[in-house]
Structure 1
Amino acid sequence: MSTTYHLVPSFVEKNKSLTPINNATTNEQSEHIKEDTKKSITKGQLILHEQCYIPKTSIHTLAGVVITVLLLWVSLYVIIKDAILPKTDLFKILVLILCSYSSGMLFTMIGLPHISGMFLTGSVFRSVGFFNLTSHYKSIIVTLRLLAISVTLTKSGLGLNTDTLIKYKWSILKYLLIPCTMEAMVFAVLAKYIFQFPWFWALTFGYVICATNSGPLLNTLNQLKNQGTNEHDRMKTLFENATYLDNIYSISAFAVCLNALASSSKLIPWLGDWDDFRLTQQLVFADVLSSGRTKSAVESRSQGEIRTKNKETGFNDIKGYGFQVPLYQMTIGSAVTYAKMACVLSKESIQLEYMVPKRCFMVFLNGVCTYFGLKEIGFPSGGPLSCFVAGATSTFCWKTQGWSASYNPVLKFESKLWNLLMEPLLFGLVGTEIDLTITDISEVFAAIGIFLIIILLRAIFGFFILTGENFELKEKLFVILSWMPKGTVQAALSPQPLDMLRTSSVTEEEDLKRAEIIVRVSVLAVIFFTTLFSLVIKFTNKKLLSKNENANEVSS
């Protein structure tokens, strides 16, 4: 006769043990065992058990984070002493991270997007004069922001579902390319004539703004699924993957524009003389093939010299952003990353001890090495796409070894790292670039006017794209509203032109103003779009979404 085992709680027995119970045990015998168990628990044990039980709420989570940060500060103080005292820059960074995370949780509790609270925390710190760092820590701040970008790009690659991507490839391609490209081009034209930006500046600005944030959409669909009222798994997986690709597309296009912006205007024929462009192109390719990076200044020729300083941009010999071939960089970087990750992961055994921590550590370090390493060797445009490719390749290889789309502990690790540390770090630091005391009201109204035009055009294009897909009219409206919010990409990309100008040997005041406008308008776009449409989605989702998911088959 077979025997099963019930695990007796540790507070009942001194040691955990397996108590054999015959399968023929009746319900009366089971009840008798439960009564004996209750009697065996002493009053002191019950009190201790009740006192130690802490419900899982936002307040208790926040308290745990505060205690953890305090322990971190004490640990750093006993090690590095005066460098972590309250008036030091390192202490200010720790306080910023803690306050950004706390404000994000508070905004979530009152029903507002958490990233808006993180942005406002950084802006308030800057406006009251608390966050004024020395030049040494300013360079560290730039590195920390780039580290956060590498984490979110790797996380996006890990979350990519290749099965959904293959099944709905044409639908995802439409959702990815058409709205994003349209918004970037329209925003570039508006920025050209409203903010008086040169064309390259305007195009770079457009690709900062055009990316979307799927957070409100996914949170709403998960909430409805948990409540058991609506289930739209197809919609969730479809637009989640489309958002990942939308983000990497805008980041890669931004990298191309930024490197062209940092280079001479001779890079593009219609911005300069064709002969100069042809000669410069030959010099670039010759140098890339020989040493992997271009020269800091273009050599002189018999007819004269080609100046590397662009009159429109003011950039001149910026470290890590020379006269590059961005598409070449992205192709080489992605190919090398794919080959490296595929070779390493395909030979890995799932029976290895500490397999999950090893994979988490390897993926994180690969993102850091890829993003920063390619920048150091002169391939800055290849870093973002390579991080994404590394994450996607890892997920694909692990699926062939037994992991599924629903089970990916490395993705959970990267998500926790992002939510607990990198997200408040990134949004808080970008917020410190905004001084609320010197905000130009006319600039704010001009930006809001541009946003309203973008909303209108994006809605029109959205209905056009969804034509032919098997969505109801209300569901199409929900998708369009969910495709509006901004977030991580704007926080990641907007400070980069300003960082480049600060490291430039020759910088014009006008270019600094343009870079600062990009940061301010990007932060305003995140707060405006995300707050507005998160609230709209929150109050309209049950009216717009159908309860019957089976009728919502997306055409492939």
Structure 2
Amino acid sequence: MEQLPEVSKVNKSRWFSKECQNYSMYTTGSNIEHLEDKNIQSSTTSQILEDSNTSKHEETKETVISRTEEIKPQSICPPRGTLNRSITVGVLLFMIWCVIWSVSGHENQPDGNLVGLFIVFYSALIGGKLLEIIRIPSVPQLPPLLGMLLAGFTIRNVPFFSTHVHINSTWSSTLRNIALTLILIKAGLGLDPQALKNLKRVCFRLSVGPCLMEACSAAVVSHYLMHFPWEWGFLLGFVVGAVSPAIVVPSMLLLQKHGYGTEKGIPTLLIAASSLDDIIAITGFSTCMGIAFSTGNVFSNLLHSFRNIVSGILLGVVLGIFVRYFPSEDQTNLALKRAFLVLSMCVTTVLVSNHFGIHGAGGLCTLMLTFIGGLSWSKDKIGVQNVISIAWNIFQPLLFGLVGLEVSVASLKSNAIGVSVATMSSALLMRICFTFILMSCAGFNLKEKIFIALSWIPKATVQAVLGPLALETARTSAPNLEPYSKDVMTVAFLAILITAPNGALIINLLGPKLLAQQDPNKIVV
């Protein structure tokens, strides 16, 4: 009985020591786990920091690489940019020519029409590009169409090229008529109803008055100086009486971009009036050409011309209403379909009207069709204009190259150039003075009136179409009138050669000096 407590004490001591060991193991383990958690957290934090530093390093490395790639000059081979685009377009046109060559007959021979058109197109294209590259310090860039015109003139008057380049007159006339159609489409789509409404009085005076005054002045001077009949004098007057939107519009847009003359709407006025000016000139030319090549009396010819004008306007209104609703708004590629439909309709009407001798009806139909159709297209109108601009970029070198090809120095009379320049200069001087007078009561100051009068002289696109048109008509229907048509062609060529570069220089040089500048950020176009 006495040994039990001792045993119990021993057991208790053993139990206590065991519990102490368990407690120490528990505390040690918790401390180890706590330290491990801290180590894990610290390692995770350091890993996160390392990852962030690595990502930042990689991002900076990528930005440095991208900036280095941007700074790194582009390799010459393979070419990029403008050179690549030019080569691509050249190869595409060459392949189109190869396809036509494979299905055509004798036209693919070295003296055929296709080879001639190929040479004229690329020569005019190169001439325009060279004029863009050649820059004179402190002088605005000359219009590329001048280089295209000189390229065709060089092909015609250099003996080696003139003996190898042959283009049928029918092909040349058809291509120029298509170019005229594109000009009329651009003019019809470029008419802004809001601008015409706001500037209707001064715009009407600026588009109708100077054109009619220059046409009448050219008719009088050519009748007494060049011995033209009155109908041919007025025909020549309407040829040289049209202003060129190809020069006026880009120059006005550049001035408008920098805020010159925008407070009184001078760039908008000139852009809108240039299209109306061309409409008046083309209508007058068609009427005079119908009278010049007809055999009846004057009254019947005027009645016939009036009938052609009315029929062209009515047909254009009907077709314009049609293209407002066809294709519908729910179709895809709407701008491309509308542009193709308008282009096909307008080219067909112009060519068919010329085939039947109704020269003015097709042009008026084109203008009315595009103007009425464009009223309901709103924002899609810009897409149609872009497609038409692409087509114009193809036909522009052909147009001016073919116009230069029609002028032969060997066939000119000894005094033809001097008389032609005198006739054109006299009519142009009357145009400038009359424009200044018409703008005197329109709310413009002296500098603005001088600028508007001088900026109304460039001539290019309409003269390039109408001048050869009279020559082609005389060759096919009235060979006895060919001398008059050749003189008209010479005056049109000289008008482009003289007024196109000088007009562009005058607009770009005098615009910043004579027009008040407004902040471009505050301009509402």
Q: Normalization by structure 1: what TM-score?
A: 0.75
- Find the counterpart in structure 2 of residue 472 from structure 1: 445
- Find the counterpart in structure 2 of residue 512 from structure 1: 482
User: Structure 2 residue aligned with 1:487, among 421, 446, 460?
Assistant: 460
How far residue 423 of structure 1 moved from its aligned partner, in angstroms, is: 1.2
Indicate conservation of the 8 Å contact 1:89/1:137, yes or no.
Answer: yes
Gaps of 5+ in 1: 1-27, 269-280, 285-322
C-alpha distance in 1, partners of 2:105/2:395? 25
Q: Secondary structure at the match of 1:437?
A: coil
The AA in structure 2 aligned to 1:208 is V
- Find the counterpart in structure 1 of residue 365 from structure 2: 386
How far residue 113 of structure 1 moved from its aligned partner, in angstroms, is: 2.5
- Find the counterpart in structure 1 of residue 431 from structure 2: 458
- Find the counterpart in structure 1 of residue 262 from structure 2: 232
User: Structure 1 residue aligned with 2:154, among 124, 133, 138?
Assistant: 124
How far residue 258 of structure 1 moved from its aligned partner, in angstroms, is: 0.6
1:335-392 superposed Cα distances (whole Å, 9 cap, x missing partner): 1221222134236432311212111110110111211233345533211111111111
How far residue 236 of structure 1 moved from its aligned partner, in angstroms, is: 2.2
1:418 and 2:392 aligned: yes
Q: Secondary structure at the match of 2:498?
A: helix
Indicate conservation of the 8 Å contact 1:230/1:547, yes or no.
Answer: yes
Higher mean Cα deviation, 348-357 or 421-430? Answer: 348-357
C-alpha distance in 2, partners of 1:335/1:31? 71
Alpha-carbon RMSD across the aligned residues, in angstroms, is 3.4
C-alpha distance in 2, partners of 1:196/1:384? 30
How far residue 515 of structure 1 moved from its aligned partner, in angstroms, is: 0.8
Q: Secondary structure at the match of 1:471?
A: coil
C-alpha distance in 1, partners of 2:233/2:285? 11
C-alpha distance in 2, partners of 1:246/1:463? 16
1:237-293 superposed Cα distances (whole Å, 9 cap, x missing partner): 22111111110111011101111111125134xxxxxxxxxxxx4xx9xxxxxxxxx
C-alpha distance in 1, partners of 2:54/2:248? 50
Q: How does 1:390-409 map onto structure 2 within 5 Å? A: 390-399=369-378, 403=379, 408-409=382-383
- Find the counterpart in structure 2 of residue 362 from structure 1: 341
Higher helix share: 2
How far residue 39 of structure 1 moved from its aligned partner, in angstroms, is: 8.8
Q: Secondary structure at the match of 1:381?
A: helix
User: Structure 1 residue aligned with 2:122, among 98, 103, 120?
Assistant: 98
- Find the counterpart in structure 1 of residue 25 from structure 2: none
- Find the counterpart in structure 2 of residue 433 from structure 1: 406
1:144 and 2:175 aligned: yes
- Find the counterpart in structure 2 of residue 331 from structure 1: 310
- Find the counterpart in structure 2 of residue 208 from structure 1: 239
Indicate conservation of the 8 Å contact 1:212/1:487, yes or no.
Answer: yes
How far residue 151 of structure 1 moved from its aligned partner, in angstroms, is: 1.4
C-alpha distance in 2, partners of 1:527/1:45? 43
Q: How does 1:249-260 map onto structure 2 within 5 Å? A: 249-260=280-291
1:413-464 superposed Cα distances (whole Å, 9 cap, x missing partner): 1122112x21111111121111123433522122222333233322221221
- Find the counterpart in structure 2 of residue 223 from structure 1: 254
How far residue 54 of structure 1 moved from its aligned partner, in angstroms, is: 6.0
Cα distance, 1:31–1:373 mapped onto 2, change above 3 Å: farther
How far residue 50 of structure 1 moved from its aligned partner, in angstroms, is: 6.3
Q: How does 1:47-66 map onto structure 2 within 5 Å? A: 56-57=81-82, 62-66=86-90
Cα distance, 1:208–1:455 mapped onto 2, change above 3 Å: closer
- Identical aligned pairs, as a percentage? 25
Higher mean Cα deviation, 237-246 or 112-121? Answer: 112-121
C-alpha distance in 1, partners of 2:88/2:166? 33
- Find the counterpart in structure 2 of residue 170 from structure 1: 201
1:213-247 superposed Cα distances (whole Å, 9 cap, x missing partner): 13333333333455x46463832222111111110
Q: Normalization by structure 2: what TM-score?
A: 0.79
Higher mean Cα deviation, 192-201 or 214-223? Answer: 214-223
C-alpha distance in 2, partners of 1:331/1:200? 21
Cα distance, 1:40–1:79 mapped onto 2, change above 3 Å: farther
C-alpha distance in 1, partners of 2:230/2:56? 78
C-alpha distance in 2, partners of 1:415/1:45? 32
1:537 and 2:511 aligned: no
1:182-230 superposed Cα distances (whole Å, 9 cap, x missing partner): 000010000001110111111111111101113333333333455x464
Higher mean Cα deviation, 195-204 or 62-71? Answer: 62-71
How far residue 475 of structure 1 moved from its aligned partner, in angstroms, is: 2.2
Higher mean Cα deviation, 103-112 or 63-72? Answer: 63-72
User: Structure 1 residue aligned with 2:278, among 235, 247, 251?
Assistant: 247
Cα distance, 1:225–1:53 mapped onto 2, change above 3 Å: farther
Cα distance, 1:527–1:61 mapped onto 2, change above 3 Å: farther
Cα distance, 1:459–1:324 mapped onto 2, change above 3 Å: closer
Cα distance, 1:478–1:549 mapped onto 2, change above 3 Å: farther
C-alpha distance in 1, partners of 2:432/2:204? 18
Cα distance, 1:500–1:215 mapped onto 2, change above 3 Å: closer
Indicate conservation of the 8 Å contact 1:220/1:541, yes or no.
Answer: no
C-alpha distance in 2, partners of 1:343/1:165? 24
- Find the counterpart in structure 2 of residue 158 from structure 1: 189
C-alpha distance in 2, partners of 1:93/1:32? 60
How many pairs align? 462
Q: Secondary structure at the match of 1:503?
A: helix
- Find the counterpart in structure 2 of residue 302 from structure 1: none
Higher mean Cα deviation, 323-332 or 460-469? Answer: 323-332
How far residue 477 of structure 1 moved from its aligned partner, in angstroms, is: 1.6
Cα distance, 1:455–1:200 mapped onto 2, change above 3 Å: closer
Larger Rg over CA atoms:
2
Gaps of 5+ in 2: 1-52, 135-140
Indicate conservation of the 8 Å contact 2:458/2:503, yes or no.
Answer: yes
Cα distance, 1:327–1:373 mapped onto 2, change above 3 Å: same
Indicate conservation of the 8 Å contact 2:113/2:167, yes or no.
Answer: no
User: Structure 2 residue aligned with 1:353, among 332, 341, 354?
Assistant: 332
